[in-house]
Amino acid sequence: MTWEKKKENDRQKQGKITIEEFRAIYRCIAHREEIIEIFNTYSENRKILSENNLTEFLTQEQYELKIDYSISAEIIQKYEPIDEMKNKRQMSYEGFARYIFSPECLLFKEECKTVYQDMNQPLNDYFISSSHNTYLISDQLIGPSDIWGYVSALVRGCRCLEIDCWDGAQNEPVVYHGYTLTSKLLFKTVIQAINKYAFMSSEYPVVLSLENHCSPSQQEVMADILQSTFGDVLLSDMLDEFPDSLPSPEALKFKILVKNKKVGTLLETRERLGTNKQGQVLDFQIWVQPTIHACSLTIVEIRKLKLSMALSDLVIYTKAEKFRSLQHSRLYQQFNENNSIGESRARKLLKLRTHEFIFHTRAFITRIYPKMTRADSSNFNPQEFWNVGCQMVAMNFQTPGLPMDLQNGKFLDNGGSGYLLKPDFLRDTTLSFNPRNLRVIEGCKLPTQLPTQLISGIQLPISMYSSKTGTLVIIEVHGVPDDHVKQQTRVVKKNALSPRWNETFTFIIQVPELALIRFAVENQGFIAGNEFLGQYTVPVLCMNKGYRRVPLFSREGANLEPSSLFIYVWYIRE
């Protein structure tokens, strides 16, 4: 019940309402004209829907092609509140409205709520939900580090966590953003939290991306903590079936993988299993980005690091390898070596070397991380990197906004498992694809027309500043550049309870496999811009057809139920 409606019906001005006034408000909310119009279209007498009427509605409007009378009977039994109507296998308007407002009529497809994709392909064939500086819950310079960063990310389906490790007092490694004033966490506390929450939302593998700045002695402590905390869940040896290729998410169910620098081969690691590695230190050479000297000669600097053998041997299929160039990777990179590339350099590669970059991401797990100047923990738009097949697009999960809306919306798919099988054209080396040039598209579904009628809003969130302005909805498509488009409705004044738009928008989507659609509700602003009220983002291929309800979420991701949009959607393959 909205405060405005309560005040409007408080005729006695006592700060409370009578039962009759309450009934008037209920009728205003429950008896929605747009639902009544649909009901009357299929009701023979505008009073009831027969089983046949309901079946006709389901097939004609909801595109339920496999519907039969038994399904209609089940819906009547589930949603019709009047026993007499149930017994006659009929449905009143009240029952029909309950069905329309039920989870069965949400926009998101039921089959996408479970793991339905092939999970037996190698890890590099999947988009993997990934976070950046997971320990931070605010900015990158002075904000707090908190265990909640890891807990929150895991609960939201994140499968790649970043842990920045530094030497701490009393031989206890700590986690924080080095050379800043962010607070510190004990490494063992972080690992204990991850162990508790790792598989609460998904049973598929979790990758711990270690940004390792520790001395060899504290690296040994890290290795001991990892082994003692995770036990057999920690992958510390290659799988017999995958000696020279990446395993699948299915083969790695309920496993923790360590992503870190490594010395030696997987076979050498296996030969050392069970041996005492205490005090054994390996020299590790790290390649540094070449610089141009004043005399125009290219100078390569090589830094030498010390790596504990105990920690090195815990790295199996996710070996961190410095990215040099696409050509170098093509010639020398091993199947179990992963690259991390900053957003600025990655953006240059996807613009100037698109074909080669996609060839690279087909073969190797590639992680993209935010540039250093994002001290406020802002995010880049992840879509441009998904478009070229980058598996781990690392986001600052603590920062709400459009980029995280896209992240959350994309990974709703496949049961929220945190793993999404990439489209064929981003996996198959025989297919040609360029998101910036769609003249040649191989392996894609046909372009899709997506007509969408935005009918109305249902108990939309109230503006924090004014209820006298108006509400509008912005509909955006995010995907390859040619598919990116934004349209908006007219403004409906002073009615957040049940605004009506009845506006239809048609989107032509060239690459539906990569497209997301976002519905954003805003309150019209005149001086400081529009006020965000709620949004919902969903993959285009996870959209149901027909009359559907679009739930709304706050900027921070909280469900704003019962606030929602009521739409009619259908799509046509060309």
Active site residue 31: no
Please work out, in degrees rounded to the nearest 5, the angle formed at the alpha carbon of residue 188 by the alpha carbons of 186 and 190.
75
What is the amino acid identity at position 285?
Q
Strand (E) positions, 79-205?
90-91, 126-131, 160-166, 174-175, 185-186
HEC profile for 458-485?
A: ECCCCCCCCCCCEEEEEEEEECCHHHCE
Return the SS3 of 419: strand
| Per-position b or e across 369-378, b if 16+ CB within 10 A of its CB | bbeeebeebe
Report how far apart, in Å, the C-alpha atoms of 169 and of each of 165, 174, 185, 369, 388 are: 13, 9, 12, 29, 43
DSSP state of 387: T
Task: Tell which residue, 321, 306, 335, 398, has the closest CA to residue 367.
Answer: 321
Query: Strands 392-395 and 366-369, how do they pair?
Result: parallel
Strand-pair category, 492-493 with 470-478: antiparallel
Residue 537 pairs in a beta bridge with 518
Selected catalytic residue, list 31, 177, 293, 328: 177
Residue 475 pairs with which residues in a beta bridge?
A: 487, 519
Question: What single DSSP character describes residue 107?
Answer: S
CB 505 within 8 A of CB 475: yes
Q: What is the C-alpha separation between 513 and 539, in angstroms, rounded?
A: 8
At 428, list the tokens. Answer: 């198959």
Question: Please, are residues 432 and 452 in contact by the beta-carbon 8 Å criterion?
Answer: no
Please, what's the b/e burial string for 198-230 (b: 16 or more CB within 10 A of its CB; e: otherwise)? Answer: bbebbbbbbbbbbbbebebebbbbbbebbeebb
**Residue type at position 195:** N
Task: Specify whether 132 is catalytic.
Answer: yes
User: What does 111-140 look like in DSSP terms, one character per residue?
Assistant: GGGS--S---S-GGGEEEEEESSTTBSS-S
Please give the DSSP secondary-structure letter assigned to residue 247.
-
Helix (H, G, I), strand (E, B) or coil at 176: coil
Largest Cα separation within the chain, whole Å, is 93
Q: How many CB atoms lie within 10 A of CB 164?
A: 22
Catalytic positions = 132, 177
